[in-house]
A and B are shown apart, each in its own frame.
Chain A
Amino acid sequence: MKPIIEVKDFVKRYGNFTAVKNVGFTVDEGSIFAFLGPNGAGKSTTINTLCTIFDKTEGTLTIDGKDVSTQKNQVRSVIGVVFQDSTLDKKMTVEENLKMHCVFYKVPRSEVEERIQFVLKLVDLLEWRKKMVSALSGGMKRRVEIARGLIHYPKVLFLDEPTTGLDPQTRAHVWEYIQRLQKEKNITIFLTTHYMDEAEICDKVAVMDHGKIIAYDTPLELKKKHTKDRAYVTTVNPAVFEKVLDSQNIPYIKKERYHLTDVGDKTRLLYALSECRSDITDIEIRKGTLNDVFLEITGRDIREGGGSR
């Protein structure tokens, strides 16, 4: 696959403050790419620079071979953007919002109707077409924005925290649409999020912290590299259990239950468990998550991040 977004040595400074420090990455065409990190890590700055809203301080950023600082209008024609905050025209209906967008992106008049049908169907909002945007729920508005971001058939769709502030059910729906899109239209999706679980389904993930990319790989590889499977065991006979664990070289921490911090080798775990099977009252095995990856790399939880950026 060829890369559609290429970023090299990107630096962004606001006065004395450096928001993004020498960042580089590529995104393959047709993939879902997630930018992870706590608030204030520089995600939005990067996405806004790619969307031609901010100007870079240093570096080269290209989308589809076009430079985001010198060929702004060419870049704008091939991207769709869904911002963190709603940018819908609340005084207009859903349909009017979409039509206006078609005008802005020079969609041929003859195709407007067909495309409105297509995108509204995609986000299940066909019957809401004539409703005022202000009458829609938060999740619906987000879906309208996604529909609008797609109506000019962009090659890349940017989603800046697309699910922030949505209830779990709506979040799941929005994700369904995003994945459907990527499969059906082969659109490259570039998103930022601080929900680690959402990043799991992405093809590639870049973890950002303090303006730097601190990890950049597929979610699977990241987890393999930075996390260990854990098990939590409750037993009525601690002395015997500890002895077995020691004999099997399984590291553990004793708390209200036993935290087995590395159970990568399942045969040893199974052996230990079967040795003590009559004493064990509860077992929980937990796979490493991207949150653990973040924790492992930075030493802190992703939700602890600072101010909004």
Chain B
Amino acid sequence: MRVIYALWIRNLKIFVRNKPALVLNLVFPFFFIYVFGEIFRNDAIENHITYMLAGIIIATVFDISLRVSTTTIDDITSGFMKEVLVSPISRLAIAAGQFVSSATVATMQGLIIFVVGFFIGLRVTSPLTVIYVIFAMIFVGLVFAGFGLLIATKTKNIQTFQAVSIAVTMPMTFLSGAYIPLSLLNDVLTGIAYFNPMTYAVAFFRTIALEKTNLSLVEMVNEGLAFEIGRFTIAPMASMLILLVFGTVFLALSTITFVRVDFSRLNRNKSDSIEFE
């Protein structure tokens, strides 16, 4: 526990110390709201600004969580991981520390945007909604922390990692309904979106944040909160369950990979890359 806590504090400090990133992370979402909100005005949706906002909050949580948990790759390249590996602590604790940190940082950033959202028209009628929103952010944060660590441990050098992370995050963000409503996508892209865990995160988070839980299924489908896939209709609750499955798989897989990966084989820098040949 002490290890998890120490890693948690470490990652929070890194997050808070990086002031420029803090500001950019706050500016970008509102920039996106302005741009995409104007382009994708949709009559089926009553308040497109808050609709966009909810999507962007959860996209930010996704993005930050992924980024923080992939700082593991920085730790590996900077050599810090080597120090960790010769110490008598379990790798399980390290993985757990990374997950908890990522989810926390992501939730904090998400909350900041959420709060600023009140100045541009976001309203909640029940204080419970705020609590649900926080829990939803932590949950989504954890899911993608697992995903991030998986990418970080699978791609062993920083160049590959950067390429992979762009290749993965871009489609995951844009084919999820967070910025662009799914109804505007063609059949192929919509089909792809259904395999994207972010799609379900967006749908279920939006339903909670905009207090739409009382809507009928038909209304939910109209507003893009529920999906009709073939004969099935996926309600926000089902979305959450799907995300839970994704999350469990990500966390389990990434933990297993992280515990097993041979860090001495990592391509950290030039002089080390020829170490074993």
29 interchain pairs, CB-CB under 8 A? A14-B277, A17-B277, A48-B264, A53-B85, A53-B264, A72-B88, A76-B86, A76-B88, A77-B88, A79-B86, A81-B83, A81-B86, A83-B83, A85-B268, A85-B269, A85-B271, A85-B272, A87-B81, A87-B82, A89-B75, A89-B83, A90-B78, A90-B80, A92-B13, A92-B14, A101-B83, A101-B87, A104-B84, A104-B88
Contact residues of A between 85 and 107, Cβ < 8 Å to B: 85-92, 96, 99-101, 103-106
Interface residues of A (CB under 8 A from B): 14, 17, 44, 48, 51-54, 72-74, 76-77, 79, 81, 83, 85-92, 96, 99-101, 103-106, 148, 307-309
Let me know if B3 and A83 touch, CB within 8 A.
Answer: no
B65-95 toward A: CB 8 Å interface, digit per residue (1/0)? Answer: 0000000000100111111111111000000
- A100 touches which of B10, B88, B272 (Cβ 8 Å): B10
In the assembled complex, how far is the CB of residue B92 from the closest CB belonging to chain A, in whole angstroms? Answer: 13
Let me know if A89 and B3 touch, CB within 8 A.
Answer: no
Let me know if A105 and B88 touch, CB within 8 A.
Answer: yes
In the assembled complex, how far is the CB of residue A66 from the closest CB belonging to chain B, in whole angstroms? Answer: 11
In the assembled complex, how far is the CB of residue B62 from the closest CB belonging to chain A, in whole angstroms? Answer: 23
Complex Cα spacing A307 to B82, Å:
22
- B80 touches which of A88, A99, A309 (Cβ 8 Å): A88
Let me know if A309 and B275 touch, CB within 8 A.
Answer: yes
B246-277 toward A: CB 8 Å interface, digit per residue (1/0)? Answer: 00000000000000000010001101101111
Given A76-B88, A101-B87, verify A83-B10 contact (CB < 8 Å).
no
In the assembled complex, how far is the CB of residue A86 from the closest CB belonging to chain B, in whole angstroms? Answer: 6
Let me know if A99 and B6 touch, CB within 8 A.
Answer: yes
Complex Cα spacing A69 to B239, Å:
47
* Further pairs besides A14-B277, A74-B88: 17, Cβ < 8 Å: A53-B264, A72-B88, A76-B86, A76-B87, A76-B88, A83-B83, A85-B268, A87-B83, A89-B83, A91-B17, A92-B13, A100-B6, A103-B3, A104-B87, A106-B88, A148-B83, A308-B271
B2 CB-CB contact with A under 8 Å: yes
Complex Cα spacing A96 to B83, Å:
14
In the assembled complex, how far is the CB of residue A138 from the closest CB belonging to chain B, in whole angstroms? Answer: 14
Let me know if A89 and B6 touch, CB within 8 A.
Answer: no
In the assembled complex, how far is the CB of residue A277 from the closest CB belonging to chain B, in whole angstroms? Answer: 54
Let me know if A87 and B79 touch, CB within 8 A.
Answer: yes
Count residues of chain B with CB under 8 A from any CB of chain A. 29
Complex Cα spacing A131 to B82, Å:
22
Which A residues touch B10, using CB under 8 A? 89, 92, 96, 100
In the assembled complex, how far is the CB of residue A194 from the closest CB belonging to chain B, in whole angstroms? Answer: 14
Closest residue on chain B to residue A308 by CB atoms: B271
Given A54-B264, A105-B87, A307-B274, verify A85-B79 contact (CB < 8 Å).
yes
Let me know if B3 and A104 touch, CB within 8 A.
Answer: yes
In the assembled complex, how far is the CB of residue B94 from the closest CB belonging to chain A, in whole angstroms? Answer: 10
Closest residue on chain B to residue A100 by CB atoms: B6
Complex Cα spacing A86 to B264, Å:
15
Complex Cα spacing A99 to B3, Å:
11
Complex Cα spacing A282 to B271, Å:
45
Closest residue on chain A to residue B94 by CB atoms: A104
Complex Cα spacing A17 to B274, Å:
13
- B6 touches which of A73, A103, A309 (Cβ 8 Å): A103
In the assembled complex, how far is the CB of residue B157 from the closest CB belonging to chain A, in whole angstroms? Answer: 15
Which B residues touch A17, using CB under 8 A? 277
- Name, among B80, B81, B89, the residue most crowded by chain A CB atoms within 10 Å (CB to CB): B80
Which B residues touch A88, using CB under 8 A? 79-80, 83
Which A residues touch B86, using CB under 8 A? 51-53, 76, 79, 81
Which B residues touch A86, using CB under 8 A? 79
Closest residue on chain A to residue B2 by CB atoms: A103
In the assembled complex, how far is the CB of residue B100 from the closest CB belonging to chain A, in whole angstroms? Answer: 15
In the assembled complex, how far is the CB of residue B28 from the closest CB belonging to chain A, in whole angstroms? Answer: 23
Closest residue on chain B to residue A19 by CB atoms: B276
Contact residues of B between 6 and 35, Cβ < 8 Å to A: 6, 10, 13-14, 17
Complex Cα spacing A4 to B3, Å:
29
Let me know if A308 and B275 touch, CB within 8 A.
Answer: yes
Closest residue on chain B to residue A77 by CB atoms: B88
Closest residue on chain A to residue B268 by CB atoms: A85
Complex Cα spacing A148 to B81, Å:
15
Which A residues touch B274, using CB under 8 A? 307-308
Complex Cα spacing A105 to B88, Å:
6
Complex Cα spacing A106 to B50, Å:
48
Shortest 7 CB-CB contacts between residues of A and residues of B = A104-B87, A87-B83, A76-B88, A87-B79, A103-B6, A73-B88, A87-B82
Which A residues touch B271, using CB under 8 A? 85, 308
Given A96-B10, A104-B89, verify A83-B79 contact (CB < 8 Å).
yes
Which B residues touch A85, using CB under 8 A? 79, 82, 268-269, 271-272
Which B residues touch A89, using CB under 8 A? 10, 75, 78, 80, 83
In the assembled complex, how far is the CB of residue A70 from the closest CB belonging to chain B, in whole angstroms? Answer: 14
Let me know if A91 and B14 touch, CB within 8 A.
Answer: yes
